[in-house]
Amino acid sequence: MKNRKEFSTRAWLVFGLFAALGVGIFGRILWIQSAEHEQWKEVGERFESSVRDINPSRGQIYAINGNVLATSVPIFEVRWDSKSEAINWNTFDTELDSLSLGLSQILKDRTPREYRELLRNGRNLGRRNTLIARRASYIQQKELAQLPFIRRGRFKSGFTFARTEQRRKPFGDLASRTIGIDRNENRVGLEASWNNELSGSIGKQIQRRIAGGEWMPVSDDFILEPKAGLDVISSIDMHLQDVASNALRQQLQEHDAAWGTVILMEVSTGMIRAMANLTRSSDTPKEGELSQYFESFNHAIGTAVEPGSTFKLASLMAAMSEGGVQAGDEIDTGNGVTHFYGKRMSDSNADQGGSGILNTTEIFEVSSNVGTALTIKKAFGEQPQIFLNALKNIGVQAPCGVRLAGESNPMVYENVGDGRWSGLSLTQMSIGYEVTQTPLQTLTLYNAVANGGKSLRPQLVERLENNGQVVKAFEPEVLSQRICQPHVLAACQTMLNRVADPEGKGTAQYVFAKSPYRVAGKTGTARIAGPNGYDGRYRASFAGYFPAENPRYSCIVVIADTRSGVYYGSSIAGPVFRELANKVYATDPSFHTTSAGLLAENCRLPGSKDGAQADLIQLYESLELPFQGGSAGDWVTVTTGDSSAVLSPRSIETNRVPDVRGMGLRDALYLLENAGLQVKTLGIGTVRRQSIAPGSDLTTTHAITLELS
């Protein structure tokens, strides 16, 4: 009983001691929170500092002609620390009115009275981070730094300027996807691929945490000063980029296409001078308005699609390299229709009876699907692996490796039996199906043909600079010294020349007929595969180079899923190629030799459309250009030679549909409407096709459609 009483007494004693200790601790907390609050707050702020990373200024991206494509614009957050140790409050009171007036005039978001109250409240409440401006520009920051009181410096005024960088593109949407986006995650374009060079190196600075979790420099000095990023000088020429983008947009809007891309490359270097990518907006246009197009995805490098007929260059190159095929070998294409394992394949002129017997060059010239497939079947039908090996040697199975984020890999079978290989694969591949390539990968092959068989890696950056001094210049990168034997290369160049020869039968015969230079290239019209197979949608393309006799530039145009009813590569893609080529030819002095008079020595005469004889003769005489011919007839066909134009009579029969091919729209409308026909037009430029054959009986005809390019 005695022991229990002693234990109880001790327990109460211990409890009493702990209770007293708790009351003492609680009392001390209350004292610190009230009476000593300001003292300990200042101590905490004095010692709560840290070494912080300071991001450097990001390098700029320039066009080759000096235009700024992407730049970092400094933005300043302006705050005021009323507890700064060196503030002289007499000076503050004296200069407050002029300071408030200056803040109002520069920042323009508050009145002088409002700024005066903001600063007084900050002082009275002892605030260390009063927000003055969140997004002051560089010019505003410079002006603010010269205001009364602020110009006394960081410690004597308490004003701080926290700098951040904002990325801007002065040309807006122009080449936007190629330039790319600078962000912390998922950068794209040049901003992503050249991020290490553009970023520079991070600096170190001691900063102090202030109320609200914000950090403020203790001084303007750095432990390690940030090093600005290098400037990237891209290969893009903004004049040509503008032409490419505008020509593409106009064609996309006219035919209400889903998307399109244009790439212009310098043959001898692989430098890309223009790369435009436009995609139709998902917003439905209002009645009477055209669809809007934006640079929202880089189709040039990111969209791998079935190339269609532009792949026939690789197919026939492989056949002549490894299949024993010669340029003059003949194939009977019959009526333009054939079957492989029960699957129908046809040519575009099958409804007109086909082309019959064609040699290899002619097969390419008229883009015969049947002729190409039969040629490849004959050459490699027993050993299709040799065909795949030949394609690998040409280089179409590998990506081109351009240093631009987002390049899709091509899909070209490497071995027989891979993937969905079947008995149809050999003939389908030959005409550009069951294979996929990006437009840039297709252009890389055409550029190699233009470059004498040497394949170059496409490039978008010419050099890196630091404050105007060249740090590194980039030379052409060779992918393959020779993609095929010289005799095969010569045959391929001839085939490409024939496609766009105005005097030939090629699929681009009329596209460049009036141009003062010659083009070598290939049209492409590929069906688009949907969920239910090929459902009547098409992708048009034109790939080639110019001038054909001495190639300087290669170019590809791809336009997908038109809704206008026109889908041939020559009608949709060809005009965009021509407009860009015309701009290059007109503005590049190296294409022209200076001489007295309008005509320069060794230069071709400017081309002319066919049309009214009197108007053409007046034009040639007023410009003092040489011409021959002329007759009693009213209408003529113009053949432009190197030194003279020849005007040949064109017969227009009464009660027959006139032949207006090769004419401009004005003359064509005059003839057709006078003949009593209702005319519908598709495209712009020169009449390439007319829906009713010339010479047809007018008595059974009331309407005609003209296809211009």
Query: What are the residues facing 181 on neighbouring strands?
Result: 188
Looking at the chain, the whole-number percentage of residues with pLDDT higher than 90 is 54
DSSP string, 327-391: TT-EEE-TTSEEEETTEEEE-TTGGGT---EEEHHHHHHTT-HHHHHHHHHHHHSS-HHHHHHHH
Question: Which pLDDT does position 277 carry in this prediction?
Answer: 96
Does some domain include residue 460? yes
Question: Which pLDDT does position 47 carry in this prediction?
Answer: 46
Does some domain include residue 366? yes
Does some domain include residue 465? yes
Which letter does DSSP use for residue 239 in this model? H
Q: What is the CATH number of the domain that holds 222?
A: 3.90.1310.10
190 and 337 both lie in a single domain: no
Within 10 A of 423 (CB to CB), how many other CB atoms are there? 13
* pLDDT exceeds 70 at position 209: no
- Which three-class secondary structure state does DSSP give residue 554? strand
What is the distance between the alpha carbons of residues 427 and 412, in angstroms, rounded to a whole number? 13
* pLDDT exceeds 60 at position 547: yes
Asked if residues 518 and 547 have their Cβ atoms less than 8 Å apart, the reply is: yes
Q: Where is pLDDT greater, at 424 or 666?
A: 424
The residues, ordered by sequence, that sit 6+ positions from 331 with a Cβ below 8 Å of its Cβ are 357, 358, 359, 360, 363, 371, 374, 375, 378
Question: Which pLDDT does position 610 carry in this prediction?
Answer: 86
Question: Which pLDDT does position 40 carry in this prediction?
Answer: 57
* pLDDT exceeds 70 at position 139: yes
- Domain range for 692 is 652-709
Based on the number of CB atoms within 10 Å of its own CB, is 608 exposed (0-12), middle (13-18) or buried (19 or more)? buried
Q: How confident is residue 566, by pLDDT bands cut at 50, 70 and 90?
A: confident
Query: What are the residues facing 558 on neighbouring strands?
Result: 261, 541
How many CA atoms, within 13 angstroms, populate the side-chain half-sphere of residue 57? 15
Q: Which of 201, 234, 267 is the last residue of a domain?
A: 234
What is the distance between the alpha carbons of residues 404 and 298, in angstroms, rounded to a whole number? 10
Does some domain include residue 10? no
538 and 571 both lie in a single domain: yes
455 and 427 both lie in a single domain: yes
81 and 137 both lie in a single domain: yes
What is the distance between the alpha carbons of residues 490 and 320, in angstroms, rounded to a whole number? 11
371 and 512 both lie in a single domain: yes
Question: Which pLDDT does position 211 carry in this prediction?
Answer: 52
Q: Where is pLDDT greater, at 668 or 113?
A: 113
- Token pair of 183 as six digits: 């962000």
Looking at the chain, the whole-number percentage of residues with pLDDT higher than 70 is 92
643 and 558 both lie in a single domain: no
Number of structural domains in the chain: 4
Q: Which of 216, 234, 252 is the last residue of a domain?
A: 234
Lowest mean pLDDT among 57-66, 155-164, 537-546, 601-610: 601-610
What's the mean pLDDT in 86-114? 93
Q: What is the CATH number of the domain that holds 691?
A: 3.30.10.20
226 and 163 both lie in a single domain: yes
Helix 439-450, helix 312-322: angle, nearest 10: 50
What is the distance between the alpha carbons of residues 318 and 330, in angstroms, rounded to a whole number? 17
* pLDDT exceeds 80 at position 18: no
Does some domain include residue 218? yes
What's the mean pLDDT in 418-427? 94
626 and 697 both lie in a single domain: no
Does some domain include residue 38? no
Q: Which of 540, 560, 590 is the last residue of a domain?
A: 590
517 and 438 both lie in a single domain: yes
117 and 200 both lie in a single domain: yes
Does some domain include residue 314? yes
* pLDDT exceeds 70 at position 216: no
CA 594, 596, 597, 602 dihedral sign is negative
Does some domain include residue 43? no
Question: Which pLDDT does position 174 carry in this prediction?
Answer: 87
* pLDDT exceeds 90 at position 165: no
Asked if residues 209 and 48 have their Cβ atoms less than 8 Å apart, the reply is: yes
246 and 298 both lie in a single domain: yes
Q: Tens of pLDDT along 266-321?
A: 999 999 999 999 999 988 777 767 789 999 999 999 999 999 999 999 999 999 99
What is the distance between the alpha carbons of residues 180 and 488, in angstroms, rounded to a whole number? 40
Q: What is the CATH number of the domain that holds 567?
A: 3.40.710.10
Range among 127-131, 515-519, 601-605, 668-672 rated most confident: 515-519
* pLDDT exceeds 50 at position 35: yes
Could you tell me if residue 26 is left (phi over 0), alpha (psi between -120 and 50 degrees) or otherwise beta?
alpha
The chain-wide mean pLDDT, for the chain, equals: 87
705 and 627 both lie in a single domain: no
